[in-house]
């Protein structure tokens, strides 16, 4: 499942955040504290894991947004 794999990626990118506190509705900036640098690290990690690339125009604000984007790009759930 994409969400479970994302939790692993979050653990590597933001180890200071307890992954048990990450939910589908968690805000990337407010709840998880991602700034532009950690957002870029997250994007690169996701791109490497799933073999996709992020469009510059995409607006991702929650973990659910990230999951949906990966689903759309990969065709998996």
pLDDT in tens, 16-74: 999 999 999 999 999 999 999 999 999 999 999 999 999 888 899 999 999 999 999 99
**In angstroms, rounded to a whole number, what is the distance separating the alpha carbons of residues 69 and 63?**
10
Q: Which two tokens stand for residue 8?
A: 């692993």
Residue ranges and CATH numbers for the domains of the chain are 2-74 (1.10.1200.10)
Provide the whole-model pTM: 0.91
Radius of gyration of the chain (CA): 11
**In angstroms, rounded to a whole number, what is the distance separating the alpha carbons of residues 35 and 72?**
24
Q: How confident is the model at residue 76 (pLDDT cuts 50, 70, 90)?
A: confident
């Amino acid at each position: 499942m994409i969400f479970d794999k994302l939790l692993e990626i979050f653990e590597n990118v933001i180890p200071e955040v307890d992954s048990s506190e990450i939910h589908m509705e968690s805000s990337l900036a407010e709840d998880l504290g991602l700034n532009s640098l950690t957002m870029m690290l997250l994007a690169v990690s996701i791109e490497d894991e799933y073999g996709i690339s992020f469009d510059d125009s995409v607006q991702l604000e929650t973990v659910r947004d990230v999951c949906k984007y990966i689903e759309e790009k990969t065709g998996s759930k």
